[in-house]
Amino acid sequence: MADLLLDITIFDDYLKGDPGAGVIVQQIIDGTLTASVSPLTVFVLWRSRVLSRKDEIGITALLSLLEEAELSAEVAKVAALLLDSAGNTETEIRLHCAVIAATAQQRGEQICTRDADFLRRLYSKIVTY
């Protein structure tokens, strides 16, 4: 188990030079903070963005420091239940949030995000930056 499960916002903000995201990433690099990432987040990161070669190398290096959070059948079931409890708004973003929340719940981790509004409807252990 890691200290934090990173959602997509930390990667987006880190690439944009956001100081809050930079602090989190630096703590991961320094080893003062441990973090994990869902394979779904990696999928979304590569699918929806055109990464420069420099950004791709940086994100790949960061990913090598993270634990891979298993995407299991149990996570899928919990994600469906969480989404139902939040009003069953099945957009791609909402589905991603539900899987992230279920993963964090199963692993006992906090979610690190800038965009906590919807995630808080699914899971209470949120860290913002």
* Structural domains in the chain, sorted by start: 4-127 (3.40.50.1010)
pLDDT of residue 87 exceeding 90, the answer is no
Going along the chain, which residue ranges are E strands?
4-6, 35-37, 67-68, 110-112, 126-127
* Buried residues in 19-43 as b, exposed as e (16+ CB within 10 A): eebeebbeebeeeebebbbbebbbe
Question: What is the band of 93 on the pLDDT scale with cuts at 50, 70, 90?
Answer: confident
With pLDDT > 70 as the criterion, what percentage of the chain qualifies?
95
Read off the pLDDT of each residue in 55-68 and give the average, rounded to a whole number: 96
H helix or E strand, kind and range, residue 115: none
Read off the pLDDT of each residue in 47-52 and give the average, rounded to a whole number: 80
Residue 66 has a pLDDT of: 98
Question: What is the band of 50 on the pLDDT scale with cuts at 50, 70, 90?
Answer: confident
Read off the pLDDT of each residue in 63-88 and give the average, rounded to a whole number: 88
